């Protein structure tokens, strides 16, 4: 169970950066690895909070850190933020981006968007994703692996200022470190994810 929580949290850590274009909240749907996760995202300048039934992750670009909260245990884990995993909008590039091509214009969840093929280098490997950027807001509203392994989509997007308390560790939470497990990299993240 804990491994499943950490796997889900790791995917959200890697992908929350795709939404950091401004102040908003949205529902988020992640599909991949034979599983589907639903959650909620809150975004403010250089800050994102992703909530799932199992955990909460807070990405702080300003502090270059990601906190994974486990509300049931009142504990949190701290991870360094890997800038190569952050894409924020149509005009801002992914760290290591080597190519960006407009593929088409499509409607995603009732919103007109430009679909891009983005190729980037991370951890010595070349990766590629599709990124849908809403025409009116410039927000990334969908991201998908080009091989179909995973998709993340933002629905019911509402622009507006978010409370600062959403992006802090709640009072009474204790820090913990994930012990090393077979197949896992530093900090309990699955090997090859964001490294």
Per-residue pLDDT of 118-143, as tens digits, reads 998 877 888 899 999 889 888 888 98
CA 141 vs. chain centroid, Å, equals 12
Q: From CA 114, how far away is CA 59, in angstroms rounded?
A: 26
DSSP per residue, 137-181: T--EEEEEETTSSEEEEEEEEEES---GGGGSPPTT-EE--PPP-
Tell me: pLDDT of 194 over 90: no
**Average of per-residue pLDDT across 137-150:** 88
Is 90 exceeded by the pLDDT of residue 67?
Answer: yes
Domains and CATH numbers, the chain: 2-188 (2.50.20.10)
pLDDT at 136: 85
Through-space distance between the first and last CA atoms of the chain, rounded to whole angstroms = 23
pLDDT in tens, 1-29: 444 444 444 444 444 444 455 788 989 89
pLDDT given for residue 189 in this prediction: 42
Q: Which of 53, 50, 20 is nearest to 36 (CA)?
A: 53
Tokens standing for residue 69: 């909260």
Give residues with Cβ within 8 angstroms of 175, minimum separation 6.
75, 76, 77, 78
| pTM confidence score | 0.69
Strands 150-159 and 174-175: unpaired
Q: Kindly tell me if the per-residue pLDDT of 148 is higher than 80.
A: yes
C-alpha span between 94 and 169 (Å, rounded) = 27
> What is residue 59's three-state secondary structure?
strand
Residue 164: strand, helix, or coil: helix
Segment 58-82 mean pLDDT: 89
In the block, tokens 């994974």 appear at 68
């Amino acid at each position: 169970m804990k491994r499943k929580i950490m796997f889900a949290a790791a995917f959200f850590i890697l992908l929350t950066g795709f939404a950091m274009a401004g102040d908003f909240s949205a529902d988020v749907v992640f599909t991949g690895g034979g599983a589907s996760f639903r959650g909620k995202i809150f975004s403010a300048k250089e800050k994102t909070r992703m909530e799932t039934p199992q955990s909460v992750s807070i990405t702080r670009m300003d502090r270059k850190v990601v906190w994974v909260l486990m509300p049931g245990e009142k504990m949190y884990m701290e991870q360094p933020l890997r800038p190569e995993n952050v894409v924020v909008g149509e005009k801002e590039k992914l760290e290591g981006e080597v190519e960006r091509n407009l593929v088409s214009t499509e409607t995603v969840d009732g919103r007109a968007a430009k679909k891009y093929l983005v190729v980037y280098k991370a951890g010595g490997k070349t990766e590629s994703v599709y990124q849908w950027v809403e025409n009116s807001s410039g927000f990334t509203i969908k991201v998908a692996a080009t091989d179909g392994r995973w998709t993340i989509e933002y629905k019911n997007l509402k622009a507006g200022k978010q409370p600062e308390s959403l992006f802090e560790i709640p009072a009474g939470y204790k820090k913990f470190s994930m012990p090393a497990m077979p197949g896992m990299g530093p900090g309990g993240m699955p090997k090859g994810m964001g490294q």
